[in-house]
Structure 1
Amino acid sequence: MERPTLQGLFQLRQEEYLRVSPLALFVYDYLVTFGDEVTFVWTKPKSLGTVLYFLARYPAFVDLMLSLVTPRLPVDQCIALDHAMGWMFLIGIAVAEIIMIMRVWSLWGGTRFMTIFLSMLTIATLIAGVTVLGLSRMSLTFVSMRGIAPNMSGCYPLGSNGAMSVDYAILMGFEAITLTLTLVRCIRHSRLRSSHLINPSSLIDLFIRDGVIYFVGLFAISFINVIMLMGNSQLDAIAIQRCLHSVLASRIFIHLRRSTYTTFMPSSMTLSHEMHSDQVELRTLSFAHTACSGTVDTSQYTRCEGGG
């Protein structure tokens, strides 16, 4: 057996690991957070945030399952499903990024400048990502696995996947900007807090903690993908990236929901009182109809006063 054949089989095994491990992580995280999902998502009033949560959460399971099936299909079906999965992954990651970018927008107080800036950044990133993905999908070719091992079915990609590294570089740049915005807010918040100019706020602390940790993780996986693909490897960590975007975006939503309801809603509050807090919902990004008579203005780092 020639060296290219051995290399192909070795990469195929590595690819299986890169596809199975994120699915296992996704299922584990789902089981761990299912109780909170029932408590803070399923049983609460539905809103735009709930829709985004479900779009970020559940399609990821389908995407990750399909990623296991694709390499075992005949070549023609493999090509069609691989192209479809590329767009499915892009949409799923985009939805997760929207949740995260709205968290940044809320952290900056939802100012007009930040609204315009983040909207333009998101649109530009999506346009660039769609363009590069379309070009990279057109350049990919697949061969039957029987050309490597006669007793194996499925397909295997040929040619460089380096064009995809541009997509990951674009995503990495987007995440670097949002991470920087979060860090700037974190520094300002820490200074004001140390100077006793503001009161401690668990909600703001949650915004900052989740933002920094999660964006660092997503930036790191994008960087790994760029390095792998620039090395002319057929391997990538796209399934891991898809999984992490779903898991982290879902956790951001659940954490904010938990913080909002446990901090701002006494058990005696009624559902009718919850329905009058749309502005709080917008500012906190928890998209929960919280029971606050005031509003949360994150630009000034104030908290609503629970009231009846």
Structure 2
Amino acid sequence: MDAVGEVDTSASVAIVSLSLSLYDFVLTVRDEFEYVWRKPIHSGSLLFLWVRYYGLFTLLFRAISVLSNRASRLLETSDVLGFVLIFSVQVVLQIRMHVMYDRSPTLALLSGSIFGIEIVVMMVLWSRQPVGSNTYPLYYVPMVVFEIWIGTLAFVKFIRRVRRLRRMGTGGDEDGGMVGVFFRDSAIHYALTIVGIIAFNVVGALSGKSLANSGLLEACFLLAGTRLILHLRAAYYRQQQREREDSAVELGTDWIVRRHRDATTITRLGGTEVEAFWGAE
């Protein structure tokens, strides 16, 4: 009976996680069509499509693996797929920090090194723990450490910019909007990550069974990861449209067409123009 109860709990978590992700897909598919499919396909849009559809596949596979009598090989595969999803979202976070910190090579190298250590330690700890065991999954600790590192970078950058804008006596209308999107979506990501970790632990504590099913945590990463890219692309294209309209009023339609035909950069972040990774005309 205990085994049946454990399967029921894990199956419920897996189904809820998949359902939550599908519901979020329905909520955001219009923006996806508008700001991804109807725009030129670049690295940012490809990364979005990878996170979105690979994430849905991962949660579907986890649900199947749990419902199929908890076959060990399927559960192992679903764990690895979940790790790749988490790592993919963390790549998005690193790219965002790279942009926010003016492409600092030192910071990129440091973050990349910490990221590499995280992957190695997670996989080593995971390989030493039997799948489906009731031992607490310590292999998620490196993930939490890396999230704290990236979160600290985002928070420090935001505080510095707020202070600079206050000294300048401006509200940051010129470039603070895009930075605001960076920080807001980072906050959403960390809020969802915290929710996922809490749910991960609460379900395990209440059931008294294995904590190995991380479907809710993976769903939270998927929801946050898609927004990290989608919201920024939306902000970029909306800003571009506003600039196009304002310039057309001042200088005429012919000039603005020429201007945007040659445009290859987005708003200034920290005083340095950044290539349009997130979107381009």
Question: Which residue does the alignment assign to 1:89?
Answer: 82
1:257 alignment counterpart: 233
Equivalent residue, structure 2, for 1:209: 184
Aligned residue type for 1:66: F
Higher relative contact order (CA 8 A, sep 6+): 2
Contact kept, 8 Å, 1:256 with 1:286, in 2: the verdict is: no
In 1, the alpha carbon distance for the partners of 2:10 and 2:158 equals 38
Distance in 2 between residues matched to 1:41 and 1:178, nearest whole Å: 26
2:67 corresponds to 1:59: no
| Among candidates 214, 222, 244, match of residue 246 of structure 1 | 222
Distance 1:217 1:247, change over 3 A: closer
- The CA deviation at 1:82 is 1.2
What residue is the counterpart of 1:194 in the other structure? 166
Deviation at 1:223, TM superposition (A): 5.6
- The partner residue of 2:114 within 118, 121, 146 is 121
| Other structure's SS at 1:235 match | coil
Could you tell me which of 16, 19, 31 is aligned with 2:14?
A: 19
Identify the residue that residue 98 of structure 2 maps to in structure 1: 105
The alignment's TM-score, normalised by the length of structure 2, stands at: 0.81
Query: What whole-Å deviation, never above 9, does each CA across 1:96-125 have from its counterpart, x for those lacking one?
Result: 111122112212221122111111121111
* Corresponding position: 1:10 with 2:5: yes
Higher helix share: 2
Aligned CA distance change for structure 1 residues 72 and 30 (closer, same or farther; 3 Å) = closer
- AA aligned to 2:179 is I
Q: Distance in 2 between matches of 1:251 and 1:73?
A: 32
Cα 1:127–1:197, aligned 2, differ >3 Å: closer, same or farther? farther
Over the aligned positions, Cα root-mean-square deviation in angstroms equals 2.9
Q: CA deviation at 1:224?
A: 5.3
TM-superposition CA deviations, 1:214-260 (whole Å, max 9, x none): 12331453365467769973135511111111121111111111111
Q: Is the 8 A contact 2:192 2:224 kept in 1?
A: no
Secondary structure of the 1:234 match is coil
Please say which of residues 101-110 and 228-237 is displaced more in the overlay.
Answer: 228-237
Give the alignment of 1:212-251 within 5 angstroms: 212-222=187-197, 225=200, 233-236=209-212, 238-251=214-227
Aligned match for 1:29, one of 24, 48, 71: 24
Aligned counterparts of 1:101 and 1:226: Cα–Cα separation in 2: 27
Q: Is the 8 A contact 1:221 1:237 kept in 2?
A: no
Q: Distance in 1 between matches of 2:143 and 2:95?
A: 16
Instruction: Decide whether aligned partners of structure 1 residues 133 and 197 sit closer, same or farther in structure 2, where only a CA change above 3 A counts.
Output: farther
Percent identity, aligned pairs only?
Answer: 15
For structure 2, which runs of at least 5 residues remain unmatched after alignment? 246-252
Among candidates 160, 168, 180, match of residue 134 of structure 2: 160
Query: How much has 1:270 moved relative to structure 2?
Result: 5.8
What residue in structure 2 maps to residue 144 of structure 1? none
What residue number does 1:289 align with?
A: 280
Quote how far apart the aligned CAs of 1:272 are: 9.8
Q: Which residue of 1 aligns with 2:248?
A: none
Letter in 2 for 1:260: Y
- 8 A contact 2:189–2:224 mirrored in 1: yes
TM-score, length basis structure 1: 0.75
Cα 1:173–1:271 change in 2 (3 A) is farther
Q: Secondary structure of 1:86's partner?
A: helix
CA distance in 1: counterparts of 2:197 and 2:169, whole angstroms: 38
What is the CA–CA distance in structure 2 between the aligned matches of 1:96 and 1:17, rounded to whole Å? Answer: 25
The one-letter amino acid of 2:280's match is H
Question: Do 1:97 and 1:245's aligned partners in 2 also have CA atoms closer than 8 Å?
Answer: no
Q: In the superposition, relative to structure 1, how do residues 48 and 256 fare at CA in structure 2: closer, same or farther (>3 Å)?
A: same
